[in-house]
Structure formats: C-alpha cells, structure tokens
Amino acid sequence: MTPWSQEHVDQTDAALVAAYEANMLTMPTPAVAHLTTALTGPLHRVEALLLANQSTIESWLRRHWQRTPAPFYASVDLRNAGVKLAPVDINLFPAGFNKLNSEFQPLCVRAIQSAMERGCASAHNILIVPNSHIRNLFYLENLAPLYALLVTAGYALCSGSLRPAISTVTPFDLPSGRRVTLEPLVRPGARLGVAGFGHGLMLRNNDLSGSHSAMLEALEQPVIPPLALDSTKRRKSDYFDYYRWVVKEFCELIHIDPWLITPLHRYGGENNSKWHAREECLTSNVRALFEEIRLKYTTNAIDRPPYRSGSLPRPRCRIQPLARLRGGCSVGVADRSPRACRWRHHREGLTR
C-alpha cells in the first residue's frame, strides 16, 4: 500500500494536478456549476485523483444514470478528512434551497426540466406536499426558492398541506420578504390536489417520518419521490450496503482504494428485548468499528490519529432506548449538549 507521508502526497498531487490540467485543455466547457471558492492550499490526494479522472468519471456516471436515473432531488452530507472524502448521509427530501448560489439558477432550471421530461413529460402542473413544519420559518424560507425554480422552469404550481390545521388558504409572510401559501389538500377519487387547481404530478418534500397519511395511498397521478422511499421503509445500513457495491466498481475504474470514499459502518443485528443486551451489542460493535478504522490508518501509513482527540472518544451523555425500536441495537442520545452531539455523529474523524 502506498504510504501517506506528507512529502509523498505533495509529489503525487503535483503529478495528478498536471494530468488534470492536461485533460481540461482537451475537454469542452462542461455544463456544470463552476465553484468559485478559492483553494487555500494544495489539493488533497483524493481530490486530485477525482479531478485527474474527471472525463472517465463523467462517462461512468452517464452510463449508470441512463440505466438507473438519479432521484428528482437529493442532498448528500459529505465529510472531508483530507486523507479521505466520504458521504455519511443522503436525504431524498432535501431542504436548504435558500442556500443555493443564485448564479446556479440557470443550471437548476435546466436540471428540473430534464428530470421532468425524463420522469413525467406530460406534466404541466406540480402539486408540492411539504413537511408540516409550518411554525419553522427556516423551513418555509427554504420552500420559496424551490417554488421559484419550478415556476421559472415553466410549471404551474400549488402547495397542499397534510396538516389538519391548514383548513383554508393560508399565506405565510417570511422575514426575507417572500410569501409561501399553503392550502388544504382534497382528494376527489384517486387524485390529490387543492381546490381550483388542475391535478398533476405530486412532488413530495415530506418523508412522512411522523405518520403516514391514507390520502396518499393508491393515487393515479405520478408521485415523486414514490411512497416506497419513505424514511420508515428505508434503513441507513441498507443504503451503505448498496453504496459499497457501487463504489467497488467505481474504484476499480480509477484504481483507488474504496475506503478512500467509503465510511466504515457496522449494523448491530442483535434483536433482544432486554436493554442491557442491546447496550452490550452496541458496545462491541463500536469497539470493533474503531479498531477497523485504526487498522486502516495503520495499513495506509497515515501519519495522523484517526480520531480528532487522538483516542476513542468517551461520551459524557446518558444513553437510553428509543421510544420505538425497529430491531437491532438502536440507541438514542438523551443529552443533546454539543459534546454529546459530536460523539453521536462521529464518523472516522469526520465530525461536525
């Protein structure tokens, strides 16, 4: 395995960046966002590897997306430790549209049009079903730019709420000066909509994590994302298993160690009604995971500790069982202090 001394990394980065620049001279200008954030130092090796293989990677992604189209929208939570870059979470019902760079708006509009043409070319009307966080102005602020992008893309739009408190047309004036209007949902037959709006495609920004509404069952209209992708029907451990399978092929293509872009994880499948048995299952899996991480750092000769503190973190928080366990050694953190949250989200030194 190639050692990860800083001198070797710098030499390798220089060669990779040179290869990347040579590729860019022969490539047409890509129709993707160009990030203007200035580099504050040399490229890390993983970043340089991805840039040097950009053409190969784009071709690989295009082939796979033709067979398995990407979701209409999603957000990915990345952790960059310098020596590796890996996703730790994905959200199929994303928020944060108010954080998008306004310069990317033409690209966003083009992406919406392309996704709609691919998934439902006949749709002209879009019914958005947002989360029920009507008291959360930050969430409502995020909806306003999403609405604007959809309208700019050429679609008629309305927003219907599953919340019983929304019984009439309800406008919300936001601190930014924008306005979001929610209306009560009605279901005549097998189609969902709001009064006076032509039925069309339903775009959900609600993962139904709190409850599942019978209004959404057996609909004849297209629903994006489909109900089969609700959070109650997906496990993060399953997602990582699929991710590892895809990454294996990807890394063979560009000749890198899959660990460089994969978070190590373990699923404790111990399904025991006694809490102490679940706690023991959790403890043994945490120890095994941290040992696996330590061995990876040793094998790759990475000259830095695998954890921010240099040792296995000792959480100062009280652990108790969740109200509803779905099996396995799942736990909840009762102490929501910053120190406890840092431990809770610990991923191979890639802490928040």
Q: Would residue 208 count as lying in a domain?
A: yes
Of the candidates 224, 243, 262, which is a domain's last residue? 224
- pLDDT confidence of residue 247: 95
- pLDDT confidence of residue 136: 85
CA distance 296 to 150: 45
pLDDT tens-digit map of 125-152: 999 999 887 778 899 999 999 999 999 9
Residues 161 and 207 in one domain: yes
Return the HEC string of the chain. Answer: CCCECHHHHHHHHHHHHHHHHHHHHHCCCCCCCCCCCCCCCCCCHHHHHHHHCHHHHHHHHHHHHHHCCCCCCCEEEEEECCCCEEEEEEECCCCCHHHCCHHHHHHHHHHHHHHHHHHCCCCCEEEEEECCCCCCHHHHHHHHHHHHHHHHCCCEEEEEECCCCCCCCEEEECCCCCEEEEEECECCCCCCECCCCCCCEEEEECCCCCCCCHHHCCCCCCEECCHHHCHHHCCHHHHHHHHHHHHHHHHHHHCCCHHHHCCCCCCCCCCCCCHHHHHHHHHHHHHHHHHHHHHHHHHCCECCCCCCCCCCCCCCCCEECCCCCCCCCCCEECCCCHHHHHHHCCCCCCCC
- pLDDT confidence of residue 189: 86
Q: Would residue 251 count as lying in a domain?
A: yes
Residue 57: which domain range? 6-70
Name the pLDDT band for 310 (thresholds 50, 70, 90). Answer: very low
pLDDT greater than 90 at residue 81: no
Residues 207 and 241 in one domain: no
pLDDT greater than 50 at residue 342: no
pLDDT tens-digit map of 207-221: 887 666 788 888 889
Q: Does the bond joining 305 to the residue before it have cis omega, within 30 degrees of 0? A: no
Tokens standing for 290? 């941290």
CA distance 331 to 317: 12
Q: Would residue 66 count as lying in a domain?
A: yes
Which pTM was predicted?
Answer: 0.72
Residues 161 and 134 in one domain: yes
Please list, residue by residue across 236-274, b when 16 or more beta carbons sit within 10 angstroms of its beta carbon and e when fewer do. eeeebeebeeebeeebeeeebebbbbbbbbeebebeeee
Residues 216 and 250 in one domain: no
Calculate the average pLDDT of the chain. Answer: 76
**Quick one: what percent of the chain has pLDDT higher than 90?**
33
Of the candidates 194, 224, 254, which is a domain's last residue? 224
Residues 256 and 311 in one domain: yes
Q: Would residue 169 count as lying in a domain?
A: yes
Name the pLDDT band for 322 (thresholds 50, 70, 90). Answer: very low
**Quick one: what percent of the chain has pLDDT higher than 70?**
71
- When pLDDT is averaged across residues 282-290 and rounded to a whole number, the result is 87
CA distance 275 to 332: 12
Please state the φ and ψ torsions of residue 303, each to the nearest 5 degrees. -90, 55
Residues 120 and 204 in one domain: yes
When divided into structural domains, the chain yields a total of 3
CA distance 89 to 307: 19
Of the candidates 161, 190, 224, which is a domain's last residue? 224
Residues 203 and 245 in one domain: no
Burial class (CB in 10 A: 0-12, 13-18, 19+), 233: exposed
pLDDT greater than 60 at residue 70: yes
Q: Do 186 and 198 form a contact (C-beta atoms < 8 A)?
A: no
Residue in the structure block whose two tokens are 């004036």: 173
Q: Which of 15-24, 44-53, 166-175, 282-291: highest mean pLDDT?
A: 166-175
- pLDDT confidence of residue 312: 47
Name the pLDDT band for 8 (thresholds 50, 70, 90). Answer: very low
Residues 308 and 242 in one domain: yes
Q: Which residue has the higher pLDDT, 246 or 188?
A: 246
Q: Would residue 88 count as lying in a domain?
A: no
Residues 241 and 219 in one domain: no
CA distance 314 to 14: 39
CA distance 272 to 242: 26
Q: Do 348 and 83 form a contact (C-beta atoms < 8 A)?
A: no
pLDDT tens-digit map of 90-126: 899 999 899 888 888 999 999 999 999 988 888 899 9
Query: What is the β-pairing status of strands 319-320 and 75-80?
Result: unpaired
CA distance 87 to 261: 7
Domain of residue 108, CATH code: 3.40.50.11280
Residues 252 and 182 in one domain: no
CA distance 93 to 111: 17
Q: Which residue has the higher pLDDT, 169 or 279?
A: 169
Residues 101 and 196 in one domain: yes
Q: Do 163 and 129 form a contact (C-beta atoms < 8 A)?
A: no
Residues 244 and 126 in one domain: no
Q: Would residue 86 count as lying in a domain?
A: no
Q: Would residue 253 count as lying in a domain?
A: yes
Taking CA 45 as the corner, what is the angle to CA 54 and CA 82, rounded to the nearest 5 degrees? 115
Q: Would residue 329 count as lying in a domain?
A: yes
